[in-house]
């Protein structure tokens, strides 16, 4: 059950509406009372009203939210517009933002903010409920602690992570600590060594007992000089030190943007997730510029990893290259002009390459010349039906095996790439 603090938060209200498939209402007044007070165009709206059962909450569309990448809060209108365009390609989204800014009337309260590649992924994942935490979303002040604890306990029982929370660090600073670890530490029994157990909270003179014991140890005469007291151990043991958290890095798979590629954004997910090849144009599936899928790689992590699939590097930042774990190619060198290593031979010494062609046909001469860095696999030709395509899964398992081997050599863990991968991204 949502707390009062959550119901007063615009970001949480939007997430709740998405979860319940309850579309919010765009209005021109904070208290709409007639159909004429509602609008369909976000450019003409001044407020957004959320309805959760008997609870109705209206927010000014310019309200800053807790989503603040780079410590700059994003307003509610920009957040809602990004959600409405969650499936749009990057260029389409940017064009839509520009068009909306041109439509905003004078004095509307600022422009819609563009969310970059990574910010949009992080926001959409949290709003849709795929993730329970985000480093770009500030903790909700005044939320019911009991409700949060119950949610954390449920997440732990289900084997999932729990939201990150801030705690006071050394020197009065702030650092991120996993709430699940805090719960474990709270249940630990505090242990002490022989000094802390014997001395207690105040010093005790044990000299009389030393003299009595000395009479029984004839080989050691009693000493008249009191030994210096042993130094007290640190108050915090090694087990009680809170480990610093690290933002989980999602591995990236790059696809070829070529129209001749057998695997494109429209059919790559069914191929790598379900082990079924369907031609790119065989369905009416809307093509997205970014996809995500999960895959369990036992030698990397005991829980499934979330992979990002893109066919363009136009929004890549230098650190993203350390997260690339596979590059699909058709054998056309122009694909790599904007890559970190434009030379294919050099590129595939750093990243595993994959070429997928038709069974019975030879791979392009370029793929052969690029050496062992590119794995060539074949799929059966499409006959117009999904029946009998049992070999597709065998091909998919070979591809995932190659990706897992490369990630293992790169020192990947569930948190991200190791030093080898980080050096490749520089």
Task: For 47-74, write each residue's pLDDT tens digit.
Answer: 999 887 777 889 998 999 999 988 889 9
Among 77-81, 195-199, 350-354, which is the least confidently predicted range? Answer: 195-199
Q: What are phi and psi of 50, to 5 degrees?
A: -110, 135
pLDDT of 269: 92
Name the residue ranges covered by the structural domains of the chain: 4-143, 252-424
Q: What superfamily would CATH give domain 252-424?
A: RNA polymerase II accessory factor, Cdc73 C-terminal domain (3.40.50.11990)
Q: Does the structure show a pLDDT above 90 at 272?
A: yes
Q: How far is CA 293 from CA 46, 71, 281, 363, in A?
A: 37, 29, 21, 28
Displacement of CA 195 from its chain's centroid (Å): 45
- What CA–CA distance (Å, rounded) separates 309 from 311? 7
Q: Beta strands 174-178 and 164-168: pairing type?
A: antiparallel
Q: Does the structure show a pLDDT above 60 at 132?
A: yes
Mean pLDDT of the chain: 79
Give me the percent of the chain exceeding a pLDDT of 90: 34
Global confidence as pTM: 0.46
For residue 324, name the pLDDT band (cuts at 50, 70, 90): very high
Q: The tokens of 226 are what? A: 């009191």
Q: Does the structure show a pLDDT above 50 at 107?
A: no
Q: Does the structure show a pLDDT above 60 at 211?
A: yes
Average pLDDT (395-415) is 91
Among candidates 332, 317, 308, which has minimal Cα distance to 256? 332
Q: Kindly provide the b/e burial profile for residues 174-210, where b requires at least 16 CB atoms within 10 angstroms of the residue's own CB.
A: eebbbbbeeeeeeeeeeeeeeeeeeeeeeeeeeeeee
pLDDT of 331: 94
Residue with tokens 């670890």: 181
Among 201-215, 236-250, 284-298, 363-377, which is the least confidently predicted range? Answer: 236-250
Strand ranges, E, within 228-339: 252-254, 290-295, 305-310, 324-329
pLDDT of 421: 55
pLDDT of 228: 55
Give me the percent of the chain exceeding a pLDDT of 70: 73
Dihedral sign of CA atoms 256, 259, 265, 267 in order: negative
Q: The tokens of 356 are what? A: 């997928």
């Amino acid at each position: 059950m949502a707390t009062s603090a959550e119901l007063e938060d615009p970001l949480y209200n939007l997430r709740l509406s998405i979860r319940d498939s309850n579309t919010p209402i765009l209005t021109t007044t904070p208290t709409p009372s007639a159909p004429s007070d509602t609008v369909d165009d976000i450019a003409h709206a001044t407020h957004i009203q959320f309805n959760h059962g008997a609870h109705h909450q209206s927010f000014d569309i310019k309200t800053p939210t807790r989503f603040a990448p780079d410590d700059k809060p994003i307003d509610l209108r920009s957040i809602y517009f990004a959600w409405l365009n969650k499936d749009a390609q990057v260029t389409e989204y940017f064009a839509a933002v520009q068009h909306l800014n041109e439509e905003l009337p004078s004095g509307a309260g600022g422009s819609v903010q563009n969310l970059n590649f990574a910010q949009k992924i992080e926001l959409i994942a949290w709003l849709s409920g795929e993730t329970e935490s985000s480093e770009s979303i500030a903790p909700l002040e005044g939320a019911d602690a009991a409700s949060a604890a119950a949610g954390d306990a449920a997440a732990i029982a289900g084997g999932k992570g729990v939201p990150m929370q801030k705690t006071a660090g050394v020197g009065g600073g702030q650092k991120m600590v996993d709430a699940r670890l805090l719960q474990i530490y709270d249940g630990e029994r505090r242990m002490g060594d022989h000094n802390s157990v014997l001395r207690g909270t105040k010093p005790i003179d044990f000299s009389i007992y030393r003299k009595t014991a000395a009479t029984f140890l004839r080989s050691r005469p009693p000493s008249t000089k009191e030994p210096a007291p042993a130094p007290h151990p640190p108050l915090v043991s090694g087990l009680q030190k809170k480990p610093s958290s690290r933002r989980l890095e999602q591995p990236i798979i790059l696809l070829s943007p070529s129209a001749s590629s057998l695997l494109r954004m429209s059919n790559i997910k069914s191929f790598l997730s379900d082990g079924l090849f369907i031609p790119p144009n065989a369905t009416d599936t809307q093509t997205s510029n970014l996809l995500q899928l999960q895959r369990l790689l036992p030698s990397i992590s005991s829980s499934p990893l979330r992979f990002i699939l893109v066919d363009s590097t136009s929004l890549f930042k230098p650190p993203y290259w350390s997260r690339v774990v596979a590059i699909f190619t058709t054998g056309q060198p122009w694909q790599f002009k904007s890559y970190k290593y434009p030379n294919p031979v050099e590129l595939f010494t750093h990243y595993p390459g994959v070429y997928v062609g038709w069974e019975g046909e030879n791979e392009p001469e370029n793929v052969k010349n690029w050496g062992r860095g590119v794995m060539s696999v074949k799929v059966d030709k499409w006959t117009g039906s999904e029946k009998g395509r049992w070999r597709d899964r065998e091909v998919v398992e070979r591809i995932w095996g190659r990706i897992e081997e490369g990630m293992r050599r790169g020192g990947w863990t569930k948190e991200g790439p190791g030093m080898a991968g980080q050096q490749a991204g520089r």
